[in-house]
A = this chain, B = another copy of it.
Amino acid sequence: MVIGDGPPPDAAIDPKLYRTYGMVPRVRTSSRNDILDAALQVVDAEGGADLTYDSVAKQAGLTKAGLMYHFPSKEDMMIAVIEHVLTRWRSELEAELGVPLEETTLAERVRAFVTFAGEGGVTRGEFVIFFETLRRPALAGPCRQYLQQWFGFGPSTDPTPLMLTWFAANGMWIAEATGIVEINAAQRTALVDAMLRMVGGDER
């Protein structure tokens, strides 16, 4: 192991070692991502458990101290999990758009969201994290920033068609992620087509 390239093995057990020797820990992304995926699996499971150091450490195959090395407070961990969810959503939406966010209109972003939401790919775990975060003001920052950046409905024009479509797309992924409804392939195609028509126009 190259010194400085990720924590030495002991650091995963005792994060204080770093401070003792004045080292700055560099965490490998893959390991951090693995932990965040494990956290999602904890809430994703049937009868999903709450996110605690114990439940996440167990799912990730780490000691509690090893987990606390990555996330010194539970709030750090929660923020990281929601950022993890939002990063995936943003990259799916950007792939759908095919152009940088700054060059898009609200209508195009709503259309991309309809397609993304219509794919049924949002997990129960992602739903739990998104809404758990929204209801905790201390954690809501990243969610609100994402919503404002992608779906900030201004007051200047009539927002009804776009807002209605956005509500419908949200209702659809939430209903699917929570298991309220099951949608077959034909229904999915018909729903997405109807939503895309609601956005209106093919102007770019």
Contact = CB atoms under 8 A, between A and B. Distances in A.
Given A187-B160, A191-B160, A195-B164, A178 B47 contact: no
Contacts of A131: 127, 131, 178
Contacts of A109: none
Interface in A148-200: 153, 155, 158-161, 163-172, 174-175, 178-181, 184, 187, 190-191, 194-195
Nearest to A125: B135
Contacts of A165: 168
A98 interface: no
Chain A interface mostly helix, strand, loop or mixed? helix
Contacts of A124: 135
Contacts of A17: none
Contacts of A175: 167, 170
Interface of A: 43, 46-48, 124, 127-128, 131, 134-138, 144, 147, 153, 155, 158-161, 163-172, 174-175, 178-181, 184, 187, 190-191, 194-195
The 8 A-B residue pairs with the shortest CB-CB distance in the complex, in nearest-first order: A167-B171, A171-B171, A170-B171, A168-B168, A160-B190, A167-B168, A167-B172, A134-B178
